[in-house]
Structures are given as C-alpha cells and as structure tokens.
C-alpha cells in the first residue's frame, strides 16, 4: 500500500465519522479511490445545476456555499463535506461552491459514494436525510440496550448490611442493588435473594450482602441488543442484567424494563384515557408520554409518525375531559366545537407542549349561554394543565372569552385579520390557520375554513404581510461558525431546534397552504400537498421536506436524550454533541430552509 494512501486512511478517514466505522481494508480501498484536488483562492468548484463528480471533503482551506440567487449562506472549513444532497437526488449541484482561500479537497467519486450508501448502514443512516422509519417485526429484539437500560443504577458495597440494603430497595421501589467495588460490579442483590437466602435461612439483619449476593453476575455492554438480554435471562433464569463498559458499571436492565417497553403504546394509553374517571386519573396516563416518546424513537419511527401518535394521546385526553365536563355541567345549550391550534392542531406535539385551543359555538348561542361554556372551558383547560399541557402564557385558550365565541363572530375575526393585516392580526392569523377540530360539532368549522382560505388566497396584500411575518424566524446559520448559537444565558452555546429549526418550516408550509387554499394543517402534509400546486416546485418540495425531516428528527432525538439523562425534554441542543457529518447535514438542512425563505421573501417583494 502506498504511504500516501495509508496516511489518508489512517490519519484522516479513521478520525472522521462514518468513515471510521469502515473495516481498515475498506477504508484503505476508499482512500485509494479518492481524487485529490488543489484549488486556489477564489476558484469555482461547481455551479448550480452542474453535474457533480462526487462528495467533496475539505482537508484544508475554506469553501463558500452560495444559494441559486447568489446569496452567501455558509463558509465551510476542514473536515466538512458538501455536495451529497445533489448526489442523492439527481447528481446535479443544488448550490454553488467557491474557495475562500487555497484549499485542498478530496473527492469521493459518485459511484463509490452511492455504493457506500447502499452497502453501509452507517452511511445510509448519516447521509439519508429523510431518516425513514427503520421498523422491524419485533422492535424489542432489535432495540439497543443503551436505549432501554436504567442509567446510574442503585449500588452498595459488599460490606453493606442486609437490613440497610433492604431499606434502600424499599424506599426506592427497586428490585435489586448492584454490589460494587469502586465502579466495578462484583455481585448483585435482588429481592429474591433477601427472601430465599436471607430471611428463609434466618440470617441476621447485620449480615453483609456479600454473603447473600450473586457473585460475578452476567453482564452485557450498551451496544448489545435487547434480544441478547432476553436470551440471557431465559437461559440463566435471571431477571437482572448489569450493563458495563469495560469493567465500569453504566446501567442495568430488568425484566420490568422489558415488560414496560412492550406495554407502552399510544393505543394502550388511549384505552386507559377513555376509562379515566377524573383529571387526576388522566394525568396518571399522560405522564407516560416521555416513555412513549423514547419507545417510538428507539423503534426507528419517522418523526411525523411519532408526533402524530403523541398528539393522539392529547386529543383523547381532551375529548375525555369534554365528556367529563358535560357529565358535570349537563348537556350544552347549543352545539359547540372544541379546536386545538399550535402543535396539537398540526399533530406535531413532542415532549414539550403547552395548550392552545378555542371554542366555536353555534350561531344560536345567546349571552346567557356563555356561563356554561366558560365553565366547560375552565374544566377542560385546567384538566389539561393537570395532565402536563400547561396553560398558554399568551392565554390563547378557550378560557379567554375572546376565543369562546359563536360562529358569526369567528367569521368576523378572520375577515378582519385578512382585511387589515397589522402585526397583531398576522400573529393571530398564524395561530388560527392551524386550527383542527378535536371534539363537538365538526360542521361548525368546515365552511368557515373554506371561506377563510378563499378570502386569504385572493388578498395579495394579506399574503405578503403573512410572508413577511413568516420569515422573522431564521435558521441558526453563521457565516464563519456554521451555527449561530445562543451567546449567553441558560442555553449558551446551543441552538433552539424549535424556534430556529422547525418553526421556520412550519411558517413556510402555512404560507403555501394559504396560497393554494389547502385545508390540511400538518406541516409535512402541507408541503406534500403544495408540491402538487403552483405554490411550490417539486424539487423545492423535496428539498424542504428532506430538510424538515432532518431538523424535526434531530429535535426528537435530542429530547429523547434529555429524557434518558433524567432531565425534562427541551429544544436547546449544543451542536458539538453531534458528529462532524451530523453537523454538516443539519447545517445543510438549515441552508435549504434559508434558501426557501429567501425565495418566498423575493416573491413577496414583487407583490408589494
């Protein structure tokens, strides 16, 4: 093997993911196929629409990436790559690239890159930006142990007295303690050991656990599959398995964990919700949403499937609260419709959500009927708050009399926002165009939204103002640092994957829906439907959907990581927690969103 190839394979590719996952001989073969290109400052690498030679890896120097309209969107440095989006779509460049300084590049030839995508799971995972569902017949069998194990398990030393160990297990409601010396597990003590080996034999409470524990328990590593856990348990008749890295204890998996995983499903939760007799009982079910989120993401479910199922739980809880309210208050005096807006309206709820809702009442509603509906709204809204869907800080709820009105008033609301699109009207319209019926008389909404979309699509001034409002949330891109992170405060050095990640796409999709009179409210569905109209080109739709899928999936994976670390899920991710290629993909996704925002804003300027 030539020394230069060996250096590339061992010193560059071996330190760059996912190339480091390749066997050494495959990595050497890849290194031998690379084309080395030296480009001088200001040299054009490729232009929009040009055939791509392959995937470009930056060894040294810097490269500018430009939008089709010439706008500079990012400057890439060493270890970054570019060109993969065009390669995976049609082999043509979606942007243009030009060097900022003297630059050394390696080109992975197109056929080599596409073969790696086809043959390597790591490459498919990191370069497939749609992150399609990776389901299997039995997700428990294929689930990594790291996604199921309990981290930081309870431990004790070998000299700990049995009575002290029993009290810890009782107080923490756990079935075992791992006995350790330092970080190394040397035994395990279970509740069965306490009964069969200690209590049944009449041992004193002061007996050290070392005399009762199972010595040198079978252990697995975090990269094992849950199938390995299950097989060990069945073969050895055990119910607890420590998880180690080297000799260091990092977690434990129990039979209860396996059972709980199989029991978690949105269908099971909804069945329990339907039987709940009060808000407290509902809360007991809804509080398991973090477990459901972890379960669905670990099973490889696509992000829009995950959020749809999580939202279904909120819908069921809302309808159950409406039924409980009517049971307490009596039959409503006129027909009504409870609607959700925001993330619940779009069926995009994750592990973090407040409540946004409203009531549309039948046209025959009288002033004296309002007392009933205000009581119903308070019951449902307070019940949702108990369940963890906290009250909206902006009072965008049915408890606010403004959002609990007869149908004619709602018609006037929408007509007024469209006729006079001042900043407040733009904000309210953005929220209310995401309405979705949850419970009640659905006929109160169908005609209203059809009329409203017709009026809105025909009013170019309203559309232009809505576009201006929609591009206020921009992707977190920095020309020189790739990501524009939060500079100070609690979330310093992180990016907000909601406000600067999914929200810009949500806003774009809403504009396309208004322009094309689309009644769907889910963001991904809006983009798919817009691709069938003049509002969005097929290629633009593909790019934006791919970008949205990656951003939304990254947000979900971050929230799952928070949950697994024992924290409340949030939207603030530190880019440094991602691999180089993951950061590169996320950056590219943000570039797509910014490009689409620029195109939409340009169209708005033409209108005005």
Question: CATH no. for residue 95?
Answer: 2.60.120.10
Helix (H) or strand (E) holding 151: strand 150-151
Residue 179 and residue 97 in one domain: no
C-beta neighbour count of 472 within 10 angstroms: 11
Which pLDDT score, from 0 to 100, does residue 223 have?
82
Which pLDDT score, from 0 to 100, does residue 135 have?
36
Which pLDDT score, from 0 to 100, does residue 132 have?
37
Q: Which of 258, 282, 299 is the last residue of a domain?
A: 258
Site of tokens 């049609």: 90
Question: CATH no. for residue 545?
Answer: 1.20.120
Q: Is 318 inside any structural domain?
A: no
Range of the domain at 97: 34-127
DSSP label at residue 152? S
Q: Is 75 inside any structural domain?
A: yes
Residue 111 and residue 198 in one domain: no
User: Which regions of the chain are under pLDDT 70?
Assistant: 1-10, 67-75, 121-122, 125-126, 128-142, 259-265, 479-481, 603-608
Structural domain tally of the chain? 3
d(CA 295, CA 306): 10
First to last CA, the chain: 64
Which pLDDT score, from 0 to 100, does residue 60 have?
87
Nearest-CA neighbor of 355 among 244, 284, 431?
431
By three-state DSSP, how is residue 201 classified? Answer: coil
Residue 173 and residue 66 in one domain: no
Residue 83 and residue 209 in one domain: no
d(CA 54, CA 50): 12
Which pLDDT score, from 0 to 100, does residue 75 have?
66
Q: Is 6 inside any structural domain?
A: no
Which tokens sit at 26?
């495959």
Residue 76 and residue 156 in one domain: no
User: At a CB cut-off of 8 Å and minimum separation 6, what does 206 contact?
Assistant: 161, 162, 163
Compute φ and ψ for 458, nearest 5 degrees: -85, -10
Which pLDDT score, from 0 to 100, does residue 136 have?
36
Task: Say if CB 471 and CB 601 are below 8 A apart.
Answer: yes
d(CA 85, CA 67): 14
Residue 118 and residue 160 in one domain: no
Which pLDDT score, from 0 to 100, does residue 367 have?
94
Burial of 361 (0-12, 13-18, 19+ CB in 10 A): buried
d(CA 158, CA 179): 6
Which tokens sit at 546?
């791919």
| Bridge-based pairing state of the strands 81-82 and 336-340 | unpaired
Residue 495 and residue 566 in one domain: yes
Site of tokens 């927690």: 577
Task: Say if CB 73 and CB 475 are below 8 A apart.
Answer: no
Which tokens sit at 408?
């004619």
Question: CATH no. for residue 234?
Answer: 3.10.580.10
d(CA 319, CA 544): 34
Q: How far is CA 127 from CA 124, 250, 308, in A?
A: 5, 30, 25
Q: Which of 127, 158, 181 is the last residue of a domain?
A: 127
Q: Which of 258, 293, 319 is the last residue of a domain?
A: 258
Q: Is 314 inside any structural domain?
A: no
Q: Is 404 inside any structural domain?
A: no
393: left (phi over 0), alpha (psi -120 to 50) or beta: alpha
Residue 235 and residue 104 in one domain: no
Residue 251 and residue 153 in one domain: yes
DSSP track, 428-442:
HHHHHTT-EEEEE-T
Site of tokens 């990776």: 134
d(CA 56, CA 105): 6
Residue 463 and residue 596 in one domain: yes
d(CA 546, CA 132): 10
d(CA 88, CA 131): 13
Which pLDDT score, from 0 to 100, does residue 3 have?
52
Q: Is 429 inside any structural domain?
A: no
Number of residues written out for the chain: 608
Residue 230 and residue 160 in one domain: yes
Q: Is 203 inside any structural domain?
A: yes
d(CA 273, CA 281): 8
Task: Say if CB 337 and CB 437 are below 8 A apart.
Answer: yes
The Cα angle at residue 318 between residues 313 and 324, in degrees rounded to 5: 125
Residue 158 and residue 121 in one domain: no
Which tokens sit at 473?
């949330």
Q: Is 150 inside any structural domain?
A: yes
The Cα angle at residue 353 between residues 347 and 356, in degrees rounded to 5: 70
In terms of C-beta distances under 8 Å and separation of at least 24 residues, what long-range contacts does 324-331 make, across chains too?
Answer: 324/277, 324/278, 324/279, 324/379, 324/383, 325/375, 325/376, 325/379, 325/380, 326/376, 328/379, 329/372, 329/375, 329/376, 329/379, 330/372
């Amino acid at each position: 093997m030539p020394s230069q190839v060996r250096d590339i394979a061992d010193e560059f590719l071996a330190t760059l993911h996912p190339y480091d996952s390749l066997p050494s001989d495959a990595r050497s073969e890849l290194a031998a196929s690379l084309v080395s290109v030296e480009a001088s400052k200001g040299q054009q690498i490729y232009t929009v629409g040009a055939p791509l030679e392959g995937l470009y890896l930056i060894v040294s120097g810097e490269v500018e990436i430009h939008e089709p309209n010439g706008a500079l969107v990012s400057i890439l440095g060493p270890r970054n790559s570019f060109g993969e989006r065009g390669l995976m779509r049609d082999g043509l460049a979606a942007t243009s690239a030009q060097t900022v300084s003297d630059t050394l590049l390696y080109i992975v030839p197109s056929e080599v890159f596409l073969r790696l995508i086809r043959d390597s799971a790591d490459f498919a995972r990191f370069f497939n930006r749609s992150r399609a569902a990776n389901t299997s017949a039995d997700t428990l069998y294929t689930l990594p142990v790291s996604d199921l194990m309990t981290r930081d398990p309870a431990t004790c030393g070998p000299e700990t007295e049995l009575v002290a160990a029993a009290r810890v297990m009782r107080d923490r409601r756990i079935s075992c303690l791992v006995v350790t010396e330092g970080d190394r597990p040397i035994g395990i003590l279970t509740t069965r050991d306490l009964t069969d080996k200690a209590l049944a034999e009449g041992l004193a409470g002061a007996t050290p656990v070392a005399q009762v524990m199972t010595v040198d328990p079978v252990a697995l590593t975090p990269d094992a599959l849950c199938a390995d856990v299950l097989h060990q348990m069945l073969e050895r008749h055990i119910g607890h398995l420590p998880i180690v890295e080297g000799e260091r204890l990092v977690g434990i998996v129990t039979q209860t964990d396996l059972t709980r995983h199989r029991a978690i499903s949105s269908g099971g939760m909804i069945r329990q919700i339907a039987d709940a007799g009060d808000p407290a009982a509902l809360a007991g079910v809804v509080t398991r949403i973090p477990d459901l989120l972890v379960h669905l993401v670990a099973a490889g479910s696509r992000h829009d499937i995950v959020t749809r199922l999580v939202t279904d739980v909120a819908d069921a809880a809302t309808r159950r609260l409406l039924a409980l309210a009517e049971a307490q208050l009596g039959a409503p005096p006129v027909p009504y419709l409870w609607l959700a807006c925001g993330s619940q309206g779009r069926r995009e709820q994750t592990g973090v959500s407040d409540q946004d809702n409203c009531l549309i009442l039948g046209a025959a509603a009288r002033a004296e009927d309002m007392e009933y509906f205000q009581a119903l709204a308070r019951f449902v809204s307070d019940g949702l708050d108990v369940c963890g869907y906290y009250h909206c800080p902006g009072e965008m709820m049915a408890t606010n009399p403004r959002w609990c009105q007869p149908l004619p008033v709602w018609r006037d609301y929408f007509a007024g926002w469209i006729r006079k699109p001042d900043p407040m009207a733009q904000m309210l319209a953005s929220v209310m165009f995401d309405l979705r019926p949850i419970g009640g008389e659905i006929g109160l909404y169908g005609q209203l939204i059809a009329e409203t979309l017709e009026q809105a699509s025909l009013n170019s001034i309203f559309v232009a103002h809505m576009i201006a409002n929609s591009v206020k949330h921009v992707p977190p891109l920095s020309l020189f640092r790739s990501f524009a992170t939060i500079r100070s405060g609690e979330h310093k050095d992180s990016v907000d994957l909601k406000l600067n990640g999914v929200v810009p796409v949500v806003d774009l999709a809403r504009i396309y829906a208004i322009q094309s009179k689309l009644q769907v409210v889910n963001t991904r569905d809006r983009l798919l439907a817009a691709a069938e109209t003049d509002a969005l080109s097929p290629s633009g739709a593909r790019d934006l959907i791919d970008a949205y899928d990656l951003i939304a999936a990254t947000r979900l994976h971050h929230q799952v990581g928070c949950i697994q670390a024992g924290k409340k899920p949030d939207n603030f991710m530190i880019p440094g927690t991602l691999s180089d290629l993951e950061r590169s993909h996320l950056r590219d996704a943000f570039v797509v969103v910014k490009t689409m925002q620029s195109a939409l804003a340009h169209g708005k300027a033409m209108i005005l």
